[in-house]
Structure 1
Amino acid sequence: MTMMSDLSRDLVEEILSRVPITSVPAVRSTCKHWNSLFKDPSFTKKHCRKEAKEIQVIMVFDSWASLISINLHGVHNQKDGLVEPPIKQIGKLNQPEISYVFHSNGLLLYVTENNNNRLVVCNPYTGQTRLIKPRNTIHRLERYGIGYDNNNNYKILIFPYHDYPIRQEIKYEIYDFNSDSLRAFSFSLDRPIWRPCEDLSLKGNIYFVAEEQMGKLEGDNILLCFDFTKERFGPLLTLPFRSNGFDSVLLSAVREEQLAVLLKRWDAYEMKIWITTKIEPNAVSWINFLKFDMIQFSRRYHNLNGSFFVDEKKKVAVICERDILKETNYKAYIMGEDGYSREVNILGESERSPRMCSYVPSSVKIQQSLNSSGKRKERDY
């Protein structure tokens, strides 16, 4: 009888590389040899590269976070146009009662909604977890995001979210993993903005969509970046279109390298997507990516409350949105060039809009808090 110990390293690596991300921590705890493989940079790079061939999405549905895989390989079929891609749930993440999730370079930041409101940072690939104790009780009108500076020091941004216009000065806090400290800041923007939302992490920084405040009137939507290296907001950046609060504007990350933005006018069926050719805290440039008509899937006077993801090589977009016939049901719509489209019922039912974000696995270690002796608590898995 052949034992796992009798197999060659190459074969063991091939077998372990097929382990779903959500099962990696359990597999690592089974065998010291397997655990050492998962800590080997060459193996983890190979494993993460294989996972990255698919679009992976973290979805919070009814207070649980699940990892979903969308394989767009072979999505274009010369005979049938756009075929339905295999979409599967890889597994649930071991963290219940989640109200919000944010992704940055393989790390997930959770905001829990139980009576012991707290922030949780985890790496599903390594199984590492760290609890963050906020200074005050977590408030529903606060926004949270995780990122890192040029020295790969991870930090959490905390700032208030207001439905009323804010002035040019923004007050916010930064939690630093390295020093285990929370510091308060204030920063003056070029012009007043209103309701920063649609946030995501890209290259360590956080990008928001917000509206300029033009006197008593709402202005155009703009892009705003928080730079974790400088620990401040950058200048107001332009989007590749003019829009206001009546229109739907969504952001998405493309392979952790580019930013994509989707626009749906409040009174139109057509949607357009642009992708950045350059993205920095103080500069951005865009190109057209995809244009399609959602007339069969969407109401004309309908704002989007979902998420979208793109594969720039295959020229395909995945739109996750409410079903127009049953608004508690969430579906995925696969859109391609020349009007190709498919509807996939994968997301399930919920009274609340699911929070979704793209996910790219990594072997980044989470800096643990200091213990009473001043040393960091270490954990392999």
Structure 2
Amino acid sequence: MTMMSDLSLDLVEEILSRVPITSVAAVRSTCKHWNSLFKDPSFTKKHCRKEAKEIQVIMVFDSWASLISINLHGVHNQKDGLVEPSIKQIGKLNQPEISYVFHSNGLLLYVTENNNNRLVVCNPYTGQTRLIKPRNTIHRLERYGIGYDNNNNYKILIFSYHDYHIRQEIKYEIYDFNSDSLRAFSFSLDRPIWRPCEELSLKGNIYFVAEEQMGKLEGDNMLLCFDFTKERFGPLLTLPFRSNGYDSVLLSAVREEQLAVLLKRWDAYEMKIWITTKIEPNAVSWINFLKFDMIQFSRRYHNLNGSFFVDEKKKVAVICERDILKETNNKAYIMGEDGYSREVNILGESERSPRMCSYVPSSVKIQQSLNSSGKRKERDY
């Protein structure tokens, strides 16, 4: 019988490059050679390229985080006998009791929902994990995000809106991985806003949707960026449409390079998506991407509270939302040009609405905290 040790190095690399992200840690612990191979930059690039051929999503599902693969092969081509689009679970990540997940450049930030009041940062590809104890008790209205500055130093943003009052001054904290420190800040925006939402990471920074206020009148939804290099918020940026708090506005990252925004007005069936042609903390420009009609699902959704993802090459959007007709059902709607639409179940039923974020694997190392002797405590699984 042929053993793995009898195979050529090229064949071993090809086999290991097909290992799912959720199984990498177990495979690496099998032998020293495989562990060193997963640390090799050329191999990790090859592995990540294979993983990137499908849309990958981290979904928090009944307090567990799962890696989901969205396969869009065959979209627009069912008459040619190609495979139907599908959504499947690749595996669960080894971190239970999760209430919130945030992604940046291959790193995941979890907020646990038990009594430990802790944040967990992990890289599913390398298996590294770091626990972070916040200074205060975690509040349900606190917002969290992870990103990095121009020197690739990773940091965590923590701020809260404990009420729905209009604010112009934002108080926040930054946890710095390099110095293992937590610092407090205060920043005044150029205009007052309601509580920011729909946060996601792109190119190291965090972007939010925030509704500006014009005196006593409701203002437009705007885009707000937190710049980790300057450690402050940028100016309010315009979205490619005018909308207010009654409309649904969702954000999504496109290959970690562009930002996409979806608009569904509360009184309309039509949805529109734009993607950025330029995105910086203080400047943004947009282009139309896709427009489609959700009239066949009109009884189910007046407003959206879920997530969406796009494949710009196939000109397809995937909208993930809880089914209002049966609240335990989780649905995905694959929408494209010329009226193309498909409805797919997402892992059946759950007690609570799933939280989702796009995921792109990477070999980024998590800098560990200092021990009592001043040395870094390494954890590499």
TM-score range normalised by the length of the shorter chain: over 0.9
Tell me the equivalent position of 1:29: 29
CA contact (8 A) 2:166 2:192 kept: yes
Separation in structure 2 between the aligned mates of residue 9 and residue 300 of structure 1, nearest angstrom: 53
Separation in structure 1 between the aligned mates of residue 82 and residue 272 of structure 2, nearest angstrom: 19
Structure 1 residues 39-72: Cα deviation after superposition (integer angstroms, max 9, x where no partner): 0000001000110111000000111110000121
* 1:80 Cα deviation after fit: 7.4
* 1:84 Cα deviation after fit: 3.1
CA contact (8 A) 2:97 2:114 kept: yes
Separation in structure 1 between the aligned mates of residue 220 and residue 185 of structure 2, nearest angstrom: 27
CA contact (8 A) 2:274 2:290 kept: yes
* 1:83 Cα deviation after fit: 6.7
Separation in structure 2 between the aligned mates of residue 218 and residue 175 of structure 1, nearest angstrom: 34
Q: 1:82 to 1:194 in 2, by over 3 A?
A: farther
Separation in structure 2 between the aligned mates of residue 106 and residue 171 of structure 1, nearest angstrom: 28
SS class of match (1:220): strand
Separation in structure 2 between the aligned mates of residue 379 and residue 241 of structure 1, nearest angstrom: 46
CA contact (8 A) 2:73 2:83 kept: no
Structure 1 residues 318-337: Cα deviation after superposition (integer angstroms, max 9, x where no partner): 01012242122110110010
Structure 1 stretch 79-88 or stretch 105-114: which is displaced more?
79-88
Structure 1 residues 68-88: Cα deviation after superposition (integer angstroms, max 9, x where no partner): 001212322062799731321
* 1:355 Cα deviation after fit: 0.7
**Number of aligned residues:** 381
Separation in structure 1 between the aligned mates of residue 212 and residue 82 of structure 2, nearest angstrom: 39
Gaps of 5+ in 1: none
CA contact (8 A) 1:82 1:341 kept: no
Separation in structure 1 between the aligned mates of residue 276 and residue 79 of structure 2, nearest angstrom: 32
Q: 1:78 to 1:67 in 2, by over 3 A?
A: closer
CA contact (8 A) 2:119 2:132 kept: yes
* 1:259 Cα deviation after fit: 0.2
Structure 1 stretch 133-142 or stretch 220-229: which is displaced more?
133-142
CA contact (8 A) 1:276 1:287 kept: yes
Gaps of 5+ in 2: none
CA contact (8 A) 1:168 1:189 kept: yes
CA contact (8 A) 2:146 2:154 kept: yes
* 1:378 Cα deviation after fit: 1.6
Structure 1 residues 67-115: Cα deviation after superposition (integer angstroms, max 9, x where no partner): 0001212322062799731321000110000000000000000000001
CA contact (8 A) 1:266 1:300 kept: no
Separation in structure 2 between the aligned mates of residue 264 and residue 326 of structure 1, nearest angstrom: 21
Separation in structure 2 between the aligned mates of residue 216 and residue 96 of structure 1, nearest angstrom: 44
* 1:311 Cα deviation after fit: 0.2
Query: TM-score under structure 2 normalisation?
Result: 0.97
CA contact (8 A) 1:84 1:342 kept: no
Tell me the equivalent position of 1:41: 41
Separation in structure 2 between the aligned mates of residue 14 and residue 300 of structure 1, nearest angstrom: 45
CA contact (8 A) 1:104 1:147 kept: yes
* 1:299 Cα deviation after fit: 3.1
Structure 1 residues 220-276: Cα deviation after superposition (integer angstroms, max 9, x where no partner): 000000000000000000000000000000000000000000000000110000000
CA contact (8 A) 1:267 1:300 kept: no
CA contact (8 A) 1:297 1:323 kept: no
Separation in structure 1 between the aligned mates of residue 296 and residue 80 of structure 2, nearest angstrom: 18
SS class of match (1:192): strand
CA contact (8 A) 1:163 1:194 kept: no
Task: Note the aligned Cα RMSD (angstroms).
Answer: 1.5
* 1:131 Cα deviation after fit: 0.2
* 1:215 Cα deviation after fit: 1.6
SS class of match (1:187): strand
Structure 1 stretch 115-124 or stretch 78-87: which is displaced more?
78-87
CA contact (8 A) 2:74 2:84 kept: no
CA contact (8 A) 1:235 1:282 kept: yes
Structure 1 residues 147-184: Cα deviation after superposition (integer angstroms, max 9, x where no partner): 00000000000001244233211110000000000000
Structure 1 stretch 162-171 or stretch 353-362: which is displaced more?
162-171
Separation in structure 2 between the aligned mates of residue 187 and residue 269 of structure 1, nearest angstrom: 39
Structure 1 residues 107-133: Cα deviation after superposition (integer angstroms, max 9, x where no partner): 000000001121000000000000001
* 1:217 Cα deviation after fit: 2.3
Structure 1 stretch 136-145 or stretch 199-208: which is displaced more?
136-145
CA contact (8 A) 1:261 1:275 kept: yes
SS class of match (2:196): strand
CA contact (8 A) 1:332 1:347 kept: no
Separation in structure 1 between the aligned mates of residue 163 and residue 288 of structure 2, nearest angstrom: 31
Q: 1:91 to 1:106 in 2, by over 3 A?
A: same
